[in-house]
Amino acid sequence: MTAGANLEIVSPGAYASIQDAGRRGFRRIGVPWAGVIDPRLMRIANALVGNAADAPVIECFDGGLQLAARGATLRVAVAGDARLELEHAGERSAVPAWRSVSLADGDILRIRRMDGGRIAMVAVQGMALSQVMGSASTYARAALGGVDGGALRAGMHLPAPPARAGAELALPRPPDASQAPVRVVPGPQADHFAQAALDTFFGSDYRVTAEADRMGVRLEGPALEHLGTREIISDATVPGSIQVPGNGQPIVLLADAQTAGGYPKIATVICSDIPRLAACRPGQTIRFAAVGAADGERIARATEAETRALIAGIVRVPAAGIDEAALYSANLVSGVVHALSPDYRTLGAANE
Amino acid sequence: MSMRILDAGDAAFTVEFGDAIDPALLARVNALDTGIARLQAGGGLPGLIETMPTFRSLTVFFDPLQTGREALLVELAPFLADTAASAGDLGRHWRLPVCYEGELAPDLGQTAAALGIATDDVVALHAGRDYVVYMLGFLPGFPFMGDVPEALRLPRRAEPRLRVPAGSVAVANGLTAIYPWESPGGWHLLGRCPVPLFDAACPSPSLLAAGDSVRFEPVSMTEYRRLLDAATAGELDPQQWLATAAANDGGGAQ
């Protein structure tokens, strides 16, 4: 299993799994899409190492991931507001996210912590994984995808070819973290709630609880009272469905959620805002804002245009003449190392 | 109740035909689902990703970068009319072995007691009729089947189990199901089926499809163990439980 160049999972951190754009066409037999929670991060990470946009990536929550190059120099890139550390020949130095990094044989890359959000994506240049039902995405409940159907564990090896020649790439302007309300389309079962409950839903803060993973995010806030029955005849859920079970506390369903459910769904988070909601940490509060279905489609197109513009802005990093390790170590000491730091932007912009 | 189009975000909508578990509604769901599959097979409906049929509704998933809800509804209008309901396809018919004995049937005694009948009567009632697979969901390959005889209907358990063993055959209200995977569950467990319901290596990973029918055949513990061992060793062809082959592939499974 370890023959040939590979990336070793030294530690998966809080939770890490292989994901790609997801598994389509099988919801009718109860198989959710799975796939990355934040497609934009996947596309940026893959673009930074020259992979196809929807090549499988390592999606990790809450930092702690540690990766080691084995058998060759490998090229990786981390998308996400992550604080990274590179260990080379026993020396540790900070490296920024949002750019590619070449790991020499034996180097270890760590996500020390997330500076914002919960999710980071690691693309590995040329990493090839077999597909199950059309996707490499891990869906642990049915043991589909990934390395062995489950989450990544320490000691696993992901086959990857030696890094190709060429400059490192960087994203000079990482996406901004919006604080705006999470946009939802009311329905499909908004009529199972009185107007007062809808007013409460759109007028109150909801707190993200500790029960938040790839299946869904359980929220806590003013209870939403049903009109009449608290169950429906099971119908389809979608990623973003907001179920309200009998206790009135909403649950937002995500990529790994079951494909059908018997709780009324008050609203659906639009695709553009699902990543932002999933990135909220336990204890954070959010608000919801209503948009129409047609507005949602328009926002989806605008989001796609933004993603393309971001990726089109990727630049080559100067190959030599700058002691990057020293630069970032200095920043680490002064506590300002950050993907959005002016130093980082200057570095990227200087190469254009 | 007339048909309604329900919003399900910016990348899906649900066509709801009614608010009951009713074969007539299922026929309308199937008619729309089949119509969509035909249009797609002919290269139509670009941007439509997939559909999800349920008891009484069909949810259409689409890519808002390629199409939109209004454009799709215009194209689907012919399949939304009442008259389309006669077009439902026949599914396949299965006869699946179930052992209703001992530790494989942990709720059999309680169910009989709650209903005021003998355990043999519970088995006879459960195995005494054909069930329609209304839909698959909850877990990969999990079939919601009905209708359970009136004399066998109980609400779900007050305390759901954290671990229902894979293969468990269960009832709740008017429905019966087989758990393809170990999972939490609140249905009453009447027996165990040794036939694997899900195989990711198959072109159609789920053994059952919506629209199929299923009859349960009681088998002894010895026979159950023999079948389970064969299944575990990969020496069991689930197709052997196909009672009659229908002309189609079982309702447009993708």
Q: What is the DSSP string of A25-92?
A: S-GGGT------S-HHHHHHHHHHHT--TT--EEEEESS-EEEEEESS-EEEEEESSEEEEEEETTEE
Choose among B11, B20, B140: nearest Cβ to A29. Answer: B140
Final residue belonging to a domain, choices B87, B119, B141:
B87
- Do B82 and B121 lie in a common domain? no
According to the model, what pLDDT value does residue B248 have? 42
- Do B32 and B98 lie in a common domain? no
Q: A297 at the B interface (CB within 8 A)? A: yes
Q: Is A4 or A341 the better-scoring residue by pLDDT? A: A4
Residue B244 confidence (pLDDT) above 80 = no
**Pick from A18-22, A205-209, B88-92: least confident:** B88-92
How many other CB atoms are found less than 10 A from the CB of residue A258? 19
ipTM above threshold 0.85: yes
- Do B78 and B101 lie in a common domain? no
- Do B66 and B130 lie in a common domain? no
pLDDT band (50, 70, 90) for residue B82: low
Per the structure, the complete domain to which residue B38 belongs is given by 4-87
According to the model, what pLDDT value does residue A336 have? 35
According to the model, what pLDDT value does residue B85 have? 56
Final residue belonging to a domain, choices B87, B118, B153:
B87
Residue B178 lies in a domain: yes
Residue for token pair 């596309």: A43
Final residue belonging to a domain, choices B87, B116, B149:
B87
According to the model, what pLDDT value does residue B21 have? 92
Q: B142 at the A interface (CB within 8 A)? A: yes
Tell me what the pLDDT averaged over chain B comes to. Answer: 91
- Do B22 and B140 lie in a common domain? no
pLDDT in tens, B5-52: 999 999 999 999 999 998 889 989 999 999 999 999 999 999 999 999
pLDDT band (50, 70, 90) for residue A177: confident
- Residue intervals of chain A classified under CATH 2.40.100.10 are 182-305
Q: B37 at the A interface (CB within 8 A)? A: no
pLDDT in tens, B180-191: 999 889 999 999
> Cβ(B78)–Cβ(B225) under 8 Å?
no
User: What one-character-per-residue DSSP string does A276-299 give?
Assistant: HHHTPPTT-EE-EEE--HHHHHHH
- Do B81 and B109 lie in a common domain? no
Which residues in chain B are contacts of A26 at CB distance < 8 A?
50, 140, 205, 254
Residue B249 lies in a domain: no
Contact A31 B140 (CB under 8 A): yes
Choose among B6, B11, B138: nearest Cβ to A187. Answer: B6
Which residues in chain A are contacts of B139 at CB distance < 8 A?
30, 141-142, 258
Which residues in chain B are contacts of A271 at CB distance < 8 A?
9-11, 64
Q: Which of residues 108-137 of A touch B (CB under 8 A)?
A: 132-133
Residue B221 lies in a domain: yes
Which residues in chain B are contacts of A269 at CB distance < 8 A?
9
- Do B117 and B46 lie in a common domain? no
For A334, the token pair is 């002064």
Residue A245 confidence (pLDDT) above 60 = yes
Query: How many structural domains are present in chain B?
Result: 2
Residue B209 lies in a domain: yes
According to the model, what pLDDT value does residue B160 have? 85
Q: B65 at the A interface (CB within 8 A)? A: yes
Q: What is the CATH number for B59?
A: 3.30.1360.40
Residue A344 confidence (pLDDT) above 70 = no
According to the model, what pLDDT value does residue A178 have? 86
Which residues in chain B are contacts of A30 at CB distance < 8 A?
136-142, 206
Residue B254 lies in a domain: no
- Do B60 and B101 lie in a common domain? no
CA atoms within 13 A on the CB side of A259: 32
Ranges of beta strands (E only) in A181-238 are 182-186, 206-212, 216-220, 235-236
pLDDT in tens, A131-172: 999 999 999 989 999 999 999 999 999 999 999 999 999 999
pLDDT band (50, 70, 90) for residue B87: very low
According to the model, what pLDDT value does residue B138 have? 87
Q: How far apart are CA A234 and CA A263, in angstroms?
A: 7
Q: How far is CA B28 from CA B57, B208, B210, B231, in A?
A: 9, 20, 13, 36
> Cβ(A54)–Cβ(A294) under 8 Å?
no
Nearest residue in chain A measured CA to CA from B139: A30
Q: A182-305 has which CATH code? A: 2.40.100.10
- Do B201 and B109 lie in a common domain? yes
- Do B115 and B177 lie in a common domain? yes
Residue B253 lies in a domain: no
Region A96-104: mean pLDDT is 97
Taking CB atoms and an 8 Å cut-off, how many pairs form between chains A and B? 156
Which residues in chain B are contacts of A186 at CB distance < 8 A?
7
Residue B252 lies in a domain: no
pLDDT band (50, 70, 90) for residue B63: very high
Contact A235 B55 (CB under 8 A): yes
**Best mutation target, A230, A235, A242, A273, to test chain B (most B CBs within 10 A):** A235
Share of chain A above pLDDT 70, in %: 89
Q: A53 at the B interface (CB within 8 A)? A: no
Residue A24 confidence (pLDDT) above 70 = yes
- Do B225 and B117 lie in a common domain? yes
How many other CB atoms are found less than 10 A from the CB of residue B172? 18
Length reported for chain A: 352
Residue B112 lies in a domain: yes
Residue A199 confidence (pLDDT) above 90 = yes
- Do B74 and B100 lie in a common domain? no
Q: What is the CATH number for B238?
A: 2.40.100.10
Q: B218 at the A interface (CB within 8 A)? A: no
Nearest residue in chain B measured CA to CA from A149: B200
